[in-house]
Chains A and B, each alone.
Chain A
Amino acid sequence: QQQVKQSPQSLIVQKGGISIINCAYENTAFDYFPWYQQFPGKGPALLIAIRPDVSEKKEGRFTISFNKSAKQFSLHIMDSQPGDSATYFCAAGEGGKLIFGQGTELSVKP
């Protein structure tokens, strides 16, 4: 049973475009929603995180949109750059434990 579903599996975006990755969760007890970025051969690195009492959080070119009633949240990468090419994971947390989505491989073409 997948508690956090992430889509798409892969995404190709032109430089300067907007990358959008979506996640849906089932457990309403989740109270922490981070996004991680992972480059080949490295561990996941925390990118941005949101708690369910806000609907949007922005840090630089990265924005999380959160819809509590729909149990969905998404990552928007504005002005996507080739250096953003990586695998992105959403996660949902409860009691200090995280459940991860399956990952999205993003490729930004020059």
Chain B
Amino acid sequence: DAGITQSPRHKVTETGTPVTLRCHQTENHRYMYWYRQDPGHGLRLIHYSYGVKDTDKGEVSDGYSVSRSKTEDFLLTLESATSSQTSVYFCAISERGKGSNQPQHFGDGTRLSIL
């Protein structure tokens, strides 16, 4: 298994509260991704990072922000959580990204419920 740890694994919170999810990797891969998984939608890219302090938006980025201050950590923040953000969130890593498609390896996810 790729060395990817997501924390927390489960979280229940209330609408309007800030939430931060963490992805930690031990593979020293340059590229990191945040996805959300919802029934009938597969996985949808929220944000991704192609290096420390280098991030870009995915297809469903509204309401989310990210930060990457170290190669091994990629944080996803919901500034003010809404019920529509209830989902399972997955982090993925890849050795290379832009211009050269390489396999993405996924963590085991964080199940987030917003009441």
Contact = CB atoms under 8 A, between A and B. Distances in A.
DSSP majority for the A interface?
Answer: strand
Given A44-B43, A102-B40, A97 B105 contact: no
Contact of B101 (A31, A44, A103): A31
Interface in A86-103: 89, 93-103
A34 B103 contact: yes
A42 B42 CA distance: 14
Most central of A4, A34, A102 by chain B CB within 10 Å: A102
A41 interface: yes
A2 to B, nearest CB: 9
Interface string B25-53: 00000010000000011111100101000
B43 A95 contact: no
A89 B43 contact: yes
B104 interface: yes
B44 A100 contact: yes
Interface residues of B, number: 29
A13 interface: no
Given A43-B90, A44-B43, A98 B108 contact: no
Contacts of A32: 101
B3 interface: no
A96 B43 contact: no
A43 B44 contact: no
A95 B98 contact: yes
B111 to A, nearest CB: 9
A46 B41 contact: no
Contacts of B106: 36, 43-45
Nearest to A89: B42
A41 B88 CA distance: 10
A98 B109 contact: no
A36 B37 CA distance: 14
Ranked 6 nearest A-B pairs via Cβ: A96-B97, A43-B106, A32-B101, A100-B42, A100-B43, A96-B98
